[in-house]
Structure 1
């Protein structure tokens, strides 16, 4: 029987007690400085170092474990992805969108005046939450809150798209409420003043004031009206377009401000006779002619109407009243009728409930004020002893003594 050879201790391979198996993912090496560097193969096949070095080898190994888990989850993002400058990405962001003419002008103005000076040369990946907070505070010190809110909202939208494009991991715009413009409450005036304004403007503009108030139309929607949009026999008005001034005395046809802006509005019967007179005297005579025109014909421009409006508002003692405030007055009156939220949104042409809720809230406040005034009148009547015997008094006595 063959004998099995047994190795002597001298013949056994020598193993270092400190030797460890090779790392399964990535590698760690000590730098001349004494710190440790971690490197790993990315999913794209590129070998990359960690963005920072580590004080200990264990820290570097721990970072590699987390990086490997990130890759396995599908959350890995190329460090080079966010190296595009904000100015370049923002310009492309606007170019890629179908925007209203005035909206595009607003966005480009906000970029030029408020965002690019602060972030233009910065890489997307380098814009942090602290940078946004600092920028907002500095802007609030020099411009109005409403402008800063609009600029912040634009910044948030651009950075949100960068997240969706997988250029950055998270949106640095996280300030609660920073994108909500703090617009001042618009002026509300009594109906008697609206009548005074109607009488103060030249006759060719009376229908303009009436529809702006009682049909809740925006300026662009008013001057964009055509004869075919009016059905005075049924008391209806269809909003399907708007006229926009683009500078240099030029105007362009546009769609309403939002999809909800396309709507049909009922016209109060009391103002229809005035509208018929206007169509006979001042509107273009063609079947699809404009309802409102300037004194010399052609589209009515806000810039040309400004002098007339200024004279009228000063004449009735309301120098701060804007033409758009007429729409506000009409919306407030509509809310005071008890209209539902959906009904207000439909009439106003809003896709968001925010504005309609404001008018509903104002209506509820006014209703409470009316109730308080009625209660005070009742109390005064009791105090002065002017109550007369009535069914209400007899009923109260029955309740009290019955």
Structure 2
């Protein structure tokens, strides 16, 4: 019960309760009805300051209904994901992050219960549980995005994700292969995948981009491969081919002349015959699958005596070689397909001539390595049949 002594103000009211603490009341800006404050205060001054701040928030249009955040976080995160327009693979990744890393620690509580302290504790728990730092950084980015939408929806007043640097993906630097190692793996792998290894290393294409290539994308006369689309491997087993995320992903990439003979041999014996046919297929004509190819790649590394690396590290190797030729940042971003649409438009003016010079410089390095005691390229005879 309230003390009979109340204090009426121009905006709201402050009164002392029998407990000795102070309570505020103010008009709900949506209904005009008086509502009590969410907490009580030790002194009349504290209560008056709190009421003044609420009045200022309402005047600025920044007031948020404290009850609005009483929404289950797990349900809100699911709805957030459902309402996003995302590529299928991206949607799968986000769903996995929410299911594996957000819901276990935060899903049972409400939005308003997620404080900066709670976010710090959640992140620390993940790291102490042995979740890798890059994965934790990705989970933090998704959490921040979900809660940013909650702010936009007027459910919470401020995003509690405020840990400096927590969203930075501090992945360890990936290894690169030497030219000798690239060719050692290319020699050791099943013949139908030799060109795949060389093209990955010297064009910097991603696995999905390589899997989506067709014959008409490869112009050996001009020594160019055109990246138009990319294959995505979903958890359902589906292999859709999609447009790249940005205009920068659609690009011509110049090839070193040293791998042209390998590409010609590949087209003769392994590529599908139609112009629209896929450049790389499995022994039974199936599409390349990253999950299946992993075993072939691992065996080739072992047979070649090369330390275990990811197939994606061939792309890193090619990027490093291109950088070593003196290519500019813009030229590298074009070759790698890294940029926003706007950035890609700015880079278009240099796409042809300088990219050719980059490939020529890479070609010189390949020939130098081949001249240092390495065996010549194989004859263009039909490669020996191989299992798998």
Aligned partner of 2:272 among 284, 288, 297: 284
- Describe the SS at the equivalent of 2:239: strand
Give 1:266's aligned residue. Answer: 254
**C-alpha distance in structure 1 between counterparts of 2:163 and 2:210, whole Å:** 38
The unaligned stretches of length 5 or more in structure 2 are 344-388
How many residue pairs were aligned?
Answer: 335
Task: State whether structure 2 residue 337 is matched by structure 1 residue 349.
Answer: yes
After TM superposition, the runs of 4+ consecutive aligned structure 1 residues lying more than 6 A away are: none
Q: In the TM superposition, what are the counterparts of 1:238-253 in structure 2 within 5 Å?
A: 238-247=226-235, 249-253=237-241
**What corresponds to 1:165 in structure 2?**
153
Q: Distance in 1 between matches of 2:34 and 2:308?
A: 66
Pair 1:30–1:290, CA change in 2 (3 A): same
**Would the alpha carbon gap of residues 86 and 102 (structure 1) be closer, same or farther in structure 2, given more than 3 Å must change?**
same
- TM-score w.r.t. structure 1 length? 0.78
Partner of 1:87: 74
Counterpart Cα distance in 1 of 2:149 and 2:45? 37
Q: Kindly tell me: are residues 220 and 257 of structure 1, through their superposed partners in 2, closer, same or farther at Cα, counting changes over 3 Å?
A: farther
User: Offset of 1:270 from its aligned partner?
Assistant: 2.0
* Separation in 2, partners of 1:102, 1:68: 46
- Whole-Å separation in 2 of the counterparts to 1:319 and 1:237: 29
Q: Rate the CA distance shift 1:39–1:215 in 2: closer, same or farther, 3 A.
A: same
Structure 1 counterpart of 2:9: 23
The DSSP-based 3-state class of the residue aligned with 1:245 is: coil
Q: How does 1:47-66 map to 2 (within 5 A)?
A: 47-66=34-53
The secondary structure found in structure 2 opposite 1:76 is coil
Which residue is equivalent to 2:281? 293
User: CA deviation digits over 1:186-214, x for unaligned, max 9?
Assistant: 12222111111111122211110111000
Given that residues 63 and 157 in structure 2 are in contact (C-alpha distance below 8 angstroms), is that contact kept between their aligned partners in structure 1? Answer: no
Q: Quick check: 1:237–1:264 contact (8 Å CA) kept in 2?
A: yes
Correspondent of 1:322 among 287, 300, 310: 310
- Report matched runs for 1:103-252 at 5 Å: 103-142=90-129, 143-247=131-235, 249-252=237-240
Distance in 2, matches of 1:282 and 1:214, equals 20
> Using the alignment, how far apart are the partners of 1:137 and 1:73 within structure 2?
36
Q: Distance between the aligned counterparts of 2:160 and 2:291, measured in 1?
A: 40
> After alignment, is 323-332 or 43-52 more displaced?
43-52
Q: Does the C-alpha gap of structure 1 residues 95 and 20 become closer, same or farther in structure 2, counting only changes over 3 Å?
A: closer
Q: TM-score, normalised by structure 2?
A: 0.81
Change (3 A) 1:109 1:22: closer
Partner of 2:20: 34
Match of 2:89 in 1: 102
Q: CA deviation at 1:247?
A: 4.0
Separation in 2 of the partners of 1:169 and 1:20?
Answer: 30
Unaligned runs of 5+ in 1: 1-18, 354-402
Instruction: Name the CA distance, whole Å, in 2 between partners of 1:248 and 1:165.
Output: 33
1:334 aligned partner: 322
Q: Secondary structure at the match of 2:64?
A: coil
Q: Quick check: which has more Rg, 1 or 2?
A: 1
**2:346 alignment partner in structure 1:** none
Whether the 8 Å CA contact 1:39–1:47 is kept in 2: the answer is: yes
**Structure 1 residues 23, 185: closer, same or farther in 2, change over 3 A?**
closer
- Pairing of 1:349-368 with structure 2 (within 5 A): 349-351=337-339
Q: 1:62 to 1:204 in 2, by over 3 A?
A: closer
**Alpha-carbon offset, residue 20 of structure 1:** 11
* Kept in 2: contact 1:222–1:292 (CA 8 A): yes
Structure 1 residue 66: Cα displacement:
2.6
Deviation by residue 1:11-57 (Cα, 9 ceiling, x = unmatched): xxxxxxxx999521112333232322211102102321111112333
Pairwise CA distance, 1:127 = 0.8
Residues in 2 aligned to 1:36 and 1:321: alpha-carbon distance in whole angstroms:
65
Aligned-CA RMSD value: 2.1
Output the CA distance in 1 between the equivalents of 2:7 and 2:192. Answer: 92
Where 1:125 maps in the other structure, the secondary structure is coil
1:22–1:315 CA distance, 2 compared to 1 (3 A): closer
The Cα of 1:105 is off from its aligned counterpart by 1.5
1:310/1:319 contact within 8 Å kept: no
1:199-234 CA-to-partner distances (Å, cap 9, x unmatched) read 112221111011100000111110111112122222
What secondary structure sits across from 2:59 in the alignment?
helix
